[in-house]
Amino acid sequence: MSREVRGNGDRRKPTVTDVAREAGVSVATAGRALGNYGKVRPELRERVLATAERLGYSPNVVARSMRSGGTRSIGFVGVDISNPFFAIAMRGVCDVAREEGYEPILANSDDRIDIERTAVRVLLEKQVEGIVVSPTSVSDVEHLERAQSVGVPIVLLDRASAGLHADSVVIDNVGAARVAVDHLLDLGHRRIGLLASIDPAERPRFVLDGRTKRLTVRGVARPSIERIRGYLAALADREVDAAERYLRCPPLGETGPAEAEEEARQLLDQSQRPTAVFAADNVTTHGLFLACRRLGLRVPDDVSIVGFDDLDWTVLVDPPLTVVAQSPLDMGRAAAQRLFARIKGDESAPERVVLPTSLITRGSTARRGRASRGA
Amino acid sequence: MSREVRGNGDRRKPTVTDVAREAGVSVATAGRALGNYGKVRPELRERVLATAERLGYSPNVVARSMRSGGTRSIGFVGVDISNPFFAIAMRGVCDVAREEGYEPILANSDDRIDIERTAVRVLLEKQVEGIVVSPTSVSDVEHLERAQSVGVPIVLLDRASAGLHADSVVIDNVGAARVAVDHLLDLGHRRIGLLASIDPAERPRFVLDGRTKRLTVRGVARPSIERIRGYLAALADREVDAAERYLRCPPLGETGPAEAEEEARQLLDQSQRPTAVFAADNVTTHGLFLACRRLGLRVPDDVSIVGFDDLDWTVLVDPPLTVVAQSPLDMGRAAAQRLFARIKGDESAPERVVLPTSLITRGSTARRGRASRGA
DNA sequence: TTGTATGCGTTATCAA
DNA sequence: TTGATAACGCATACAA
């Protein structure tokens, strides 16, 4: 079949071949002029560029990447882009990617390992050059290893994994929780409640240490569990006994503000009510605040509260919230930076980037008012 | 150079050819077994699949899409993914895309036309099959037309454009603002302020209509301008004169909560203070709330306020905010649905999908207390 | 049912 | 400097 001249009304995108034919040069020359590589006589380049412009030529980077490997795409697998933490982290990833001339492909895992696996598979099939992922599981990481084994670097965001030999960008969750609880202890509080959303699949077990007679937490190194660990450690350091009835861990995933509020209500609605509560993530912080209001508890007079994540609204409420702040933007940026270092060939040992957190003291915490039971 | 057998330690991804050689069949057969097309003897298919599994084969959809057209990628160009509106809309787009077996590539425009143009160009080069975009400009749409002309459908989100022959998913901005202002008028307010972030490039001009002696607004159909129009229309309908000193339009882009707060302060800090204010977007809502507190104004006793967008925090503050609510999730979903209809070949006339908004009445609006000047 | 050969749009290699 | 041609990985037309 003879090659027809492509009509103008054609929806097909013009290719280098089209431009070459139209400009009266070879595909090679057209390619060189358009791709800006090799040598080409200025006047020819002009002619080629002009015809390209006229035809509305736009390079097909899919074809290009087939030849030369790189797709200049990376993957981002977050739990839920509508959650401010991930939205802001994604922004950080986007910014760095753009500086590097890359674009991110987005996938939400909803914290489900099966969805995450599929997402990673699809991203690999799409030939992304690297993936930033907030892994659903810190133990089930085969799919991530598979990516690495085909040369696609992985950077973990927010959640590290001991099992995976990969870079990670995290905060010091134990330390952050410690600082929050220390703050409450410094203010004289002894009955300190804790709220933390926990993945049911990795629900921690609280065990009484035989030797020290102190409550400890068993479980993998998920942020929320680390924060519980920090909470317990802070109490232990001051020889304050932790009580299981002051710990409430609603299941992550099914926990929205409403569920968190109910958990907070149960925590606050007991005889020896805690005089202070630490909410270890932004969903429980939201729920805790609602519960206090619903129960008619005055903050900080009746109960002091420390939240997690310095979202917009923490300064809008009354009183403004004392919170542990992290920077999702910096975390996203750092993760992307590690990723591009790997993409560029960095073969050094996996790095664990620990970003700082800060306790922002505002009106929701105060010295314990009346002297009640010390522990 | 002779073709070496690919070692196991090799980082290169195995291809159909590798699997075929290893399984002792032709590439065509391997391809058929792996791609699940054509006819292939069951036992052979088994063998191929097993070898593929062993080698860790994963199809290269880039190569596949080169042959057979579709990349199964779409583009999403939002203003800023860290803004809750776009984050949630993106979530909607993602969900629909996933149902269709597509993944979205994300780009932020920061409301800058040059960045948007570049983003669209890159997306086209990456051969996306369609683009959802919140256009920075409703007039400068050449780059979007170019996409359409090469067969890549465009769906506009949040902002429609009269100039572009494309589907759009919007809300009735005029109507939404009208309802908000009517609510305030119903409560007896007559001096009603307005706050709206406006793109400086498309700054509206307020003109006194010669015939009706009423203030009107000239400018393109951007959401914020439409909302101003709705505000003015509501006042006009009740024969309440609008005054320019009650309208404040901080420049979008440079306007964070801090700048919005300053604008709100200026609005509220004048002799004949408005007894109510309508903030036409979530940034000015935030700033307005801060300003009231900073000025020591009691809401709703001293000033009633209506915000825009029902973000989480609107029920956490005291008093909870009366707001105009839209659903970014539904808007994202609807936009993606239109896009996939087009991708599947729908050639009907461009559709303008108008999603409902609702006025959620809460504690921040109340009947005007003292009788003061009526207009 | 299986295999061979070719094309998708680029880029790279080599010879002219 | 330019041009003909091969190759990237996959899917298909056609031959066996």
* Interface touch B62/A126, C-beta < 8 Å: yes
pLDDT, one tens digit per residue, over A329-373 is 999 999 999 999 999 999 999 999 999 999 999 999 999 975 343
Beta bridge partners of A106: A76
Cis peptide before A300 (omega within 30 of 0): yes
Q: Which amino acid is at A315?
A: V
- Identify the pLDDT of residue A10: 53
Smallest CA–C1' separation from B15, nucleotide: D9
Alpha carbons B220 and B344: distance in angstroms, whole number: 32
Query: Which of B61, B123, B286 is facing A312, going by the closest CB pair?
Result: B286
3-state secondary structure of A307: strand
Alpha carbons A300 and B223: distance in angstroms, whole number: 41
- Identify the pLDDT of residue B251: 84
Q: Does the pLDDT of residue A6 top 90, yes or no?
A: no
Q: Is the CB of A66 under 7 A from strand C?
A: yes
Cis peptide before B300 (omega within 30 of 0): yes
Beta bridge partners of A131: A75, A154
* Interface touch A316/B105, C-beta < 8 Å: no
Nearest chain B residue (CA) to A311:
B313
Do strands A322-325 and A358-360 pair parallel, antiparallel, or not at all (unpaired)? antiparallel
pLDDT, one tens digit per residue, over B105-154 is 999 999 899 999 999 999 999 999 999 999 998 889 999 999 999 999 99
Q: Taking residues B283-303, what's their average pLDDT?
A: 95
Name the residue among A126, A143, A6 with its Cα closest to residue B105. Answer: A126
pLDDT, one tens digit per residue, over A216-261 is 777 666 898 899 999 999 999 999 999 999 999 888 777 788 899 9
Q: Does the pLDDT of residue B209 top 80, yes or no?
A: no
Distance from the A296 Cα atom to the nearest Cα atom in chain B, whole angstroms: 13
For chain A, the helix, strand and coil percentages under 3-state DSSP, each to the nearest 5: 40, 15, 40
- Identify the pLDDT of residue B8: 42
Q: Is the CB of A64 under 7 A from strand C?
A: yes
Name the residue among A107, A233, A124, A200 with its Cα closest to residue B90. Answer: A107
CA A195 to chain centre: 20
Distance from the A122 Cα atom to the nearest Cα atom in chain B, whole angstroms: 9
Q: Is the CB of A29 under 7 A from strand C?
A: no
Q: Which amino acid is at A16?
A: V
**HSE-up of residue B104 (Cα within 13 Å, Cβ side):** 32
pLDDT, one tens digit per residue, over A254-289 is 778 889 999 999 999 999 999 999 999 999 999 999
Which CA distances in Å does A53 have to A14, A16, A32, A48? Answer: 11, 12, 15, 9
Q: Is the CB of B28 under 7 A from strand D?
A: yes
